[in-house]
Amino acid sequence: MLLAWIALAAFVALALALDLRGHGGKPMPTRTALGWSLAWTAIGVAFALVVLLIDDGAAASEYLAGFLIEKSLSLDNLFVFAILFAFFRVPAAQRLKVLVWGIAGAIVLRTAFILVGAAALDAFHATTYVLGALLAFTAVKIARQTDEHVDPDRTLAMRALRRVVPLADAYDGDRLLTRTAVGKRVATPLLAALAMVAAFDVMFAIDSIPAIFAITRDTFVVFAANAFSLLGMVSLYFLLDGMLDRFRYLNLGLAAILGFVAAKLLLVDVWHPPVALSLGAIVLALAGAAAASVVAERREARRAAAAAGQTAAKPSDPATVA
């Protein structure tokens, strides 16, 4: 089994390197992101055969069920990533780097959670409520957003981070640390975004890891399901990102999703919604936002056409009136 752990860890590291370097460090086009999303999902499902070969059919079934649960729950993370990138104004050229390194850090920290087990989850239980409150605050901010850009200096997350580490006001290329005019070393907003991506994903692990522990106590199966669900998140994010600009009311859909996630975390001790409900909430919020956007766009197009027709019908030459 030790050899299986080493082989899986090596594959995960290679996959992350492929995500970072395989696309030239640039954001993925929507079609490419769709192809990679389907490929990573297929690879994740196919790994059940590997588990079958090194263990047994029961373990393979547990892995497959755990993978599907983690893959479903990981959808929550994608929308949070979109919000974080908006908050920190992460340049498009740097988003792939933030995603890959953030997910790499999340895999390492999730592994620690898995190995420590239920005791570690109990120790960090109070963090669930902190995250829930932050997500609720973020949902309200996104719902009220009227501009495409959000000033990171006014966000709760940035103010909290500034109390821990000095942060620069501007990016310095792809550097995580930089120096001020007086030579003081400070962190760039890119480091803040990277830390927040990893931190939020680990916080979501508090919600998702117990779900798979309810299926199996095999730490290898739990780690594999988490790892493969996270590997596909880079391409899934860019698939989502490719649709963000097409729907004007998508921010309301994101706010609704974040509000639902916040409710799950704040009510974790009294409410345990099934995965199907989470997926239904996500689909309903996105479908509603997309439908509202399409209706608004068509209404404006009809008004523009009607206005153009009226302008063309009006006589513009005084001689015509005479």
**Residue 66 in contact with residue 222, Cβ under 8 Å?**
yes
Residue 256: the pLDDT is 82
Residue 144 scores a pLDDT above 50: yes
Q: Supply the pLDDT for residue 222.
A: 86
Q: How far apart, in whole angstroms, are the C-alpha atoms of residue 210 and residue 264?
A: 14
Residue 239: Cβ within 10 Å count = 22
Report the range out of 11-15, 55-59, 246-250 with the highest average pLDDT. 11-15
Higher pLDDT, 224 or 202: 224
Q: At 185, is the secondary structure helix, strand, or coil?
A: strand
Q: State yes or no: pLDDT of 146 exceeds 60.
A: no
Q: How far apart are CA 275 and CA 68, in angstroms?
A: 10
In this structure, which amino acid lies at residue 110?
R
pLDDT of residue 128: 67
Residue that wins the pLDDT comparison between 246 and 52: 52
pTM over 0.85: no
Tabulate helix, strand, coil % of the chain (nearest 5): 75, 0, 20
Structure confidence at residue 127 (pLDDT): 64
CA 1 to chain centre: 32
Q: Is the pLDDT of residue 148 over 60?
A: no
**Average pLDDT score over residue span 29-51:** 88
Per-residue pLDDT at 322: 47
Q: Which of 32-46, 80-94, 116-130, 282-296 has the lowest mean pLDDT?
A: 116-130
Provide the pLDDT for residue 46. 93
What is the structure's pLDDT at 276? 65
At 53-65, the pLDDT tens digits run 888 888 888 888 8
At 243, list the tokens: 């649709």
Predicted pLDDT at 153: 58
Distances (CA, A) of 173 to 90, 98, 99, 151, 241: 11, 13, 16, 19, 22
